[in-house]
Amino acid sequence: MKKTIISFNVTIGSYQSFIDQIVNLIADAKSCYICVANVHMLIEAYRDQSFASIVNNAELTTPDGMPLALSMDLIHGIKQDRVAGMDLLPDLLKESENKKFPVYFYGGTQEMLDKTKDYLLLNYPSCPVAGLHSPPFRVLTETEDNEIIEVINKSGAKLLFVALGCPKQEKWMSKMQGRIHMPMIGIGGALPVMVGIQKRAPTWVQKASLEWLYRLVQEPKRLFRRYAVTNSLFLTLLLKTVLEKKLGKKENSLHSV
């Protein structure tokens, strides 16, 4: 089940229910994609209706950031767990170890994928890795697309982790639905954090919805403009949505008198 937050629909449910649903999708070998949504993705969807349609057509859209989980309560009165990519990635790798389904990693630099391979050998030695591929940093030709589709489909993989960054990875997964024969999940910035290229915020920072600030301190040049614009716009849109909802309830109560 999904509920709308400003510009797209977000799947609701407990954290464990997301793990269970993804495992079921893997068992069914369903060609689909899973979006791990944060404020940046929401604002991209608000600005681009075609991108919003891509997110809304996802099999699951998880509330990655605390702002989205809290928005679910403010807008719909639903206490929603945060379902972050940084938690999903290691938990799905544990499931892969336990259930022996092979995984494939697509995206990121070769250096990051080399670190990923070493990390998996050390931390998930029984996790079957079907392959890791770093695509060139440009638009691929149709021939190149067909070649990587064939490689992934023939690899024996049951789950594809896509690390191209938002919105590129969501657009790529949408394009590959029906062509890649397994669930795909966009893990964005979760992979460099897991393998130690970047640090994750302490738990108290995560719970205070300030993980974005922690990341900003780590990468100020890359993230300052994005956060300055997207966070401000998100807060404005959230306030507008909450006020409209309250005014709508007030009008309904007056009409019922």
CATH of the domain at 177: 3.40.50
pLDDT at site 138: 85
pLDDT at site 65: 83
Among left, alpha and beta (phi > 0; psi -120 to 50; other), residue 89 is alpha
pLDDT at site 254: 44
Q: How many domains does the chain have?
A: 1
| Angle, vertex CA 177, rays to CA 174 and CA 181, nearest 5 | 145
In a domain, 94, yes or no: yes
pLDDT at site 207: 65
In a domain, 212, yes or no: no
In a domain, 97, yes or no: yes
The total of other beta-carbon atoms located within 10 Å of residue 110's CB is: 10
| pTM of structure | 0.88
Mean pLDDT per 10-residue interval, the chain, length 257 residues: 94 97 97 96 95 97 92 94 95 97 96 96 96 92 94 98 96 97 94 82 65 66 71 91 77 50
Structural domain that includes position 125: 2-201
The whole-angstrom separation of Cα 220 and Cα 226 is 10
In a domain, 228, yes or no: no
pLDDT at site 208: 65
In a domain, 222, yes or no: no
In a domain, 232, yes or no: no
- Identity at 169, one-letter amino acid code: Q
In a domain, 257, yes or no: no
In a domain, 176, yes or no: yes
